Amino acid sequence: MTGQSGRSVTLPGGMVITREFDALRFSLNPLPIEFLYQVEVPADIQISEVGKRIVFAEASVGSKGVTIPGERVIVRNRRPGDRFRAGPKARTKTLKKLFLEKKVPKHRRDRLIVIECQGEIVWLEGFPSADPLNEHFPQAKRYDIHLVNETFRS
């Protein structure tokens, strides 16, 4: 199979062959995955749709943590048009562009955890956090985020 990454061919019986960067992936036609949880932090939640567990614990001294103003976050997977700043000095980019740059295979992208607070993505599985809310909410609490069964690490 030649061409760009992400191209796929569907065979009879639902078998799909997809080119993912320098590899071919054989799979049955997957069902789309969507999940969204509204969570009060600190928390320990199981995300059954992707077989992961995420724990929010108050940040320990010296940890980087993520600033969360208020007591609620949204734990979900990606949505069209999502934007994130991966690192303190990085520019904001769409998740699609970040995933292409880091060569995250298409079949993993919908399984990555996104944490949103006040309409802004504050954490993205496998990427460093810019912690954009820290400068706007200096009195907000900081949380360490622990993920079990991580899908991707850049």
pLDDT tens digits, 1-44 = 455 667 778 788 778 888 877 888 787 766 678 999 999 999 99
State residue 98 phi and psi, 5-degree precision.
Answer: -60, -45
Q: Which residues contact 36 (CB under 8 A, 6 or more apart)?
A: 74, 75, 76, 77
Closest to 99 (Cα-Cα) out of 73, 132, 66, 124: 124
Range with top average pLDDT, 4-8, 75-79, 140-144: 75-79
The amino acid at 10: T
Residue 135 vs residue 83, higher pLDDT: 83
pLDDT tens digits, 100-130 = 999 898 888 999 999 999 898 989 999 887 7
